[in-house]
Chain A
Amino acid sequence: MSKKIIMGGNDAIAYAVRQSYVDVVSAYPITPQTSIIEKIADFISKGEMNARFIKVESEHSAMAAAIGASIAGSRVFTATSSQGLLLMHEVLHWASGARLPIVMANANRAVAPPWSIWAEQTDSLSQRDTGWIQFYASNAQETYDLLFLSFRLAERVKVPAMVCMDGFLVTHTKEPVEVFDNEISEFISIKEKREILDIDNPKAYGALAFPKDYMPIKLEQNDAILSASNVFNDIAKEFELISKRHYAATEVYGDSKADVAIIATGSIAEVAHIAVDNLNKDSIKAKLVKINMFRPFPKKELQEALKDVEKIVVFDRNISLGKGGIIKDEVAGSLGINNIIGFVAGLGGYDVTEQDMEKATKDVLSGKVKEDSYLWGEK
């Protein structure tokens, strides 16, 4: 029987890793991810988890060792954050290009300089072209559930997956999380058969590809990532039967006949629920479109969710310097729409409240804000 435990997102991730028959963990400490790997080390030391934990000397080696363990046939987990994820950048490509279903948790943290340890998604959004599936969790329950879903999805489509969660706001905020007892074990014990290093069939992986070979391989990889959208829905259905919790690439909340849609991810999406309630109370027909899965990009789901709205307001806790909010840009570009205004908000962990979002939304509707902007002000 499932039970509720008070946990932060990091605890929930570690708890899910313990239940996921992970064979190899390879990781390096970084705030605010560290408590995940501490917890895993604790599980291993108590004999509650049967896995090898490679305590590498950098995040770069964390991902490299994960690649080695994965291509040799193991289920592999790692976790990182911010600078660590950026150090991994090259190796992220190696993992996805080798089609290895590694699962990683990333605590979203602002990028230095200046030093910051607080929430921002620029770290993982700037890895969006590395060929990884990306989930953004809004609360501890989602981090827990998405970890199981990530392993199954990654292994089915042979694409690595990262579960991103805003530093401290999601990683450390303690809340009740419904955890499984044994009822998840059948779901998570399924490990897809895949090609691995085999001394009886000696092949070379990752060898030089001439131009006639390279592009087809990359297109096949792209197709595999795109296929993750439908496959995710199938796996999420299976998961729902066990958990009674529904997961989809996007989630809509609020007035179904809304005139204005707010788009958000991660912890901001959690607060946006309140903003939508308050806007509805003020007779503004608003809804939240929360993006849970950013790669593959949920184009169809967003088209459906946004087809009847007049205005779209995006809150981005990230910035592509010299351009603006990354999610706003991707939504506008992918859907080819121009009724969309983006606000860059909450960089470096700066608080974003429901009042901020309500005011910004109203300013867009009144025409006071006509272009992409940012939220800033003394609090």
Chain B
Amino acid sequence: MKNINKDEILQPNHLACPGCTAALSMRLALKALGRKTIIVIPACCWTVINGPLGKNYAGVPVIHTAFETTAAVASGIKASLSMQQKDDITVMGWAGDGGTFDIGLQALSGAAERNEDIIYVCYDNEAYMNTGIQRSSATPYGAATTTTPPPIQKDRPKKDLMELVAAHDVPYIASATTAYPQDLIKKFEKAKNIRGFKLIHLFVSCPPGHKSVESKSIIISKLAVETGVFPLYEIENGVYKLSRKPKFTDVKEYLSLQGRFKHLKDKDIEQIRKNIEKRWEKLNKKFEN
């Protein structure tokens, strides 16, 4: 067992829903990054979690900003700190999937292409949860949301964020989830010590949005990995490295724990299985190289 930093930077009484692993993700990320960290938070669940005016549960400086501006604001902070020779401060963008896959993608692409020395974190709960569960381009195939109610559930696969950012030739990209906390912490520690643009893609379980039981968030996150739905891997300077080889257990178990998939018919689940296979075929080729 790796020693986990005992310093609790995230403060208690934050406003996350019970069972939200977006809050747990922040707790673990800050254990890795330490107190010399500045966070940029766009419109997302964390706008609420961090508390209203006068509160700052993150425990490190936070700037709340416009939905689509995370990567650009973080770039500006880094430029300023660098002019002040405050190079020991980590600048982290902390955005949801809507703010990353959709509205913030342009600014993210700009910052990645410039190779800004920031850590961009997307905590991905696979829909616009803060506005009440609307589909985003991170919503997986088959999921019900308030804008994709069955039978018009989402019929397109999730956008591949890791590959999108990989196309920018940045030094570090990784996926992680709180079900594997040591892996998550290790990846944040690594990101902190690499200069240039870093992306960390976090799978986050959301009981109200996924229609799941609060106590099952970690199990769901674990199953996301073990079924192959959410691969844990790193792309370091273009080299792909698998962090954990999934057991490829039946995806049905993962789906059955979440009400957002309860309408799915056997043929839909078969399609999901095919999508997983297709994704892994592509990925395995990358791991081999």
Contacts and interface: CB of A to CB of B under 8 A. Distances in A.
A276 interface: no
A26 to B, nearest CB: 6
Interface centre among A198, A208, A209 (most CB of B within 10 A): A208
B59 A68 contact: no
A260 interface: no
Given A61-B71, A207-B55, 13 more contacts: A52-B80, A62-B72, A67-B69, A68-B74, A68-B75, A68-B76, A72-B77, A72-B80, A90-B66, A203-B61, A203-B62, A204-B50, A207-B56
| Residues of B contacting A: mostly | mixed
A68 B77 contact: yes
A67 B53 contact: no
B113 interface: yes
A60 B107 CA distance: 9
18 contacts: A51-B83, A52-B79, A52-B80, A55-B114, A60-B68, A61-B75, A62-B72, A65-B72, A67-B76, A68-B76, A74-B83, A199-B38, A201-B61, A204-B50, A207-B53, A208-B47, A209-B53, A210-B53
Interface in B162-196: none
Q: Which 8 A/B pairs are nearest by Cβ-Cβ distance?
A: A68-B76, A57-B110, A72-B80, A64-B72, A65-B76, A64-B69, A206-B64, A61-B72
Interface residues of B, number: 46
Given A24-B79, A68-B76, A91-B69, A199 B37 contact: yes
A355 B48 CA distance: 60
A347 interface: no
B134 interface: no
Interface string A253-288: 000000000000000000000000000000000000
A360 interface: no
Interface residues of A, number: 43
Interface in B39-90: 40, 47-48, 50-56, 58-66, 68-69, 71-84, 89
Interface string A222-235: 00000000000000
B262 to A, nearest CB: 33
A179 interface: no
A128 B83 CA distance: 32
